């Protein structure tokens, strides 16, 4: 990966306001801190291991199966939205808010993969493009 590649997914989730990450629910008792927030700077393993992130990788592989020149951008964007909805539901987030928050990720992934097709050579390469290098 070239250093200039954007850590798109991690940055998008880390920057998500708590309102996006919290489901509409009864107000917590006064002693609680409020809605759960996510910080990917420490440990992104829950996201990396999420089946929906694996599905996003597979959708990206499938979209580029015949090369960047044959990419069906509209279909890829639609499939990404479906995956982001499932991701939100799996993490008790508002689907529409997370979809809106991550809406630029597929286009950024298209740019990354077009520049460096090796991004799709493995799930690990894909994760580096989304989250940056992981400490093991």
* Model confidence pLDDT, tens digit, residues 64-83: 999 999 999 999 999 999 99
What is the predicted pLDDT for the residue at 134? 80
Please give the structure tokens belonging to residue 73: 């951008």
Domain boundaries, the chain: 8-20+45-131
What is the predicted pLDDT for the residue at 16? 53
**pLDDT, mean over the chain:** 80
Strand residue runs (E) in the chain: none
What is the predicted pLDDT for the residue at 7? 46
Please give the structure tokens belonging to residue 83: 């995956």
Are the beta carbons of 72 and 60 closer than 8 angstroms?
no
């Amino acid at each position: 990966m070239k250093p200039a590649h954007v850590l798109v997914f991690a940055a998008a989730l880390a920057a998500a306001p708590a309102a996006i990450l919290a489901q509409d629910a009864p107000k917590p008792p006064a002693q609680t801190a409020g809605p759960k927030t996510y910080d990917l700077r420490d440990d992104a393993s829950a996201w990396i291991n999420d089946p929906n992130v694996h599905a996003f990788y597979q959708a990206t592989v499938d979209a580029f199966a015949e090369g960047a020149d044959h990419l069906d951008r509209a279909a890829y964007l639609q499939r990404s939205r479906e995956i982001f909805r499932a991701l939100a539901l799996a993490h008790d987030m508002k689907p529409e808010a997370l979809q809106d928050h991550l809406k630029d990720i597929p286009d950024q992934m298209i740019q990354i993969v077009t520049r460096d097709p090796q991004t799709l050579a493995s799930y690990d390469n894909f994760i580096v493009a989304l989250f940056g290098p992981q400490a093991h």
